[in-house]
Amino acid sequence: MSRYDDIICIDCDGVLRDPITNGEIPFARESMSLLHRHGWRLICLTANDVALVNTWLRHNRLRKYFTAVTNVKPLAFRYIDDRAIGFYDWDQEDLFDLTRVLRP
């Protein structure tokens, strides 16, 4: 077991916080509570100001579930991110479907 095998990195915007309303994404607290109770260490990753995210997490009673809030991608067993594409290999079709859809 490596030192990050029990860590799940959770993206903030779009996963915990709705960037349009500034509200909590439905069931975010219940989900963080469940992962925390199952022994996962949770790290919140943000591209925004860490202090502002800490304040938002505290205001929404979510901060207690996280061992850290960072703007530097940490080592983790898994990452939960609303913008991610799961990678398996370069033959997977959805990678190329997406590049076609997003082509300017």
Q: How far is the CB of 48 from Mg ion (least distance, A)?
A: 10
CA atoms of 64 and 100, how far apart (whole Å): 41
Residue by residue, DSSP assigns 35-93 as: HHHTT-EEEEE-SS-HHHHHHHHHHTT-GGGEEEEESSPPP-SEEE-TT----S-TT-H
Binding residues vs Mg ion (CB under 5 A): 11, 13-14, 82
Q: Which is nearer to Mg ion, 5 or 52 (CB)?
A: 52
Q: How far is the CB of 44 from Mg ion (least distance, A)?
A: 11
Nearest residue to the partner Mg ion, using Cβ: 14
In what helix (H) or strand (E) does residue 11 lie, and over which residues does it extend? strand 7-11
Q: Which is nearer to Mg ion, 82 or 97 (CB)?
A: 82
Q: Which is nearer to Mg ion, 12 or 89 (CB)?
A: 12
Q: How far is the CB of 17 from Mg ion (least distance, A)?
A: 9
